[in-house]
Amino acid sequence: MHEHPLQRFFKSLRERPVFAWERFQMRDVLVIDHPLCQAVFSRQGAQLLHFQPRGQKPWLWCAAKWPQVGAIRGGVPVCWPWYGRHPSENAWPSHGWARLIDWKLLDSSTDDEGVRLHWQLQLCDWQVDLHAHLGETLELRLCTEHQDELPCQLSHALHAYWRIGNVGEVALSGLEGAQGYDQLNRQVCQQEGELRVDGGCQRVFQHEGELHLKDHAWQRELCIDTGDSADTVVWHPGSRPLLGVSFNEASGFVCVESAMAGASLAPGERAHLSLQARAGA
């Protein structure tokens, strides 16, 4: 098993504070060391890069090498206020501005059940808040408030990279019978049986409820819930190269994301997105 690049912060035998800011690969990162879990956030993008409950393997994958500037690949990027390519501005960055900008950490607290954090970003007439609760489980909640006087279009995603033993030995259950769209083949699809992503996958499903990511190589199961108001996106590049990521690295993740595309917000209206995960039985 390749070591997660951010596990370096937890190797020291000295006692750490629960929250501590560090500098890593030209980014400010918040290192969290709680009796129930270890985690790392990047100030850029309010991006959860590492999460590991005590006694377990890491739940999230992150690239070992980050670009000097630009988006960090891995963890749970916040794609906002658009997901994918911008519908009209080709020169604007894929997946929006949020993952490229430093957020404000408004609050952090700790108790016997874990840690809670509240991140916020204000951009023009938008405000977006990310609430995180980490302990034996993982919970992220994204809330967008539209503060302009005119309606607007919003799409957003919590683009989670789940760490696995090997992409060829995982199966995703819970989507059986779900309707979706296969973006690689450009056609509608309906899932039959367990979904396997070896060889590449880019599918968007209309789905509610919990999914089970069965990782046979690591002999574990993660239960992932993308909420009741979102699409569920399953993605892996297959053999296609990813900039800055080796082939061996890419075999160690699969993306199961909470996403919402094309929502129209009235002035003062809010939009919500959530992502939760727990260890399987």
- The residues annotated as belonging to the active site are 159, 257
Instruction: Indicate the residue type of 247.
Output: F
To which residue do tokens 């670009």 refer?
A: 67
Rg value, the chain, Cα: 18
The token pair at 159 is 């683009």
SS3 assignment for 185-246: CCEEEECCCCECCCCCEEEEEECCCEEEEEECCCCEEEEEECCCCCEEEEEECCCCCECCEC
Query: Hey, what's the torsion of the CAs at 101, 4, 173, 218, to 10 degrees?
Result: 180
Q: What are the backbone dihedrals phi and psi of residue 154, each rounded to the nearest 5 degrees, phi first?
A: -135, 140
Length of the chain: 281
The token pair at 221 is 């199961």
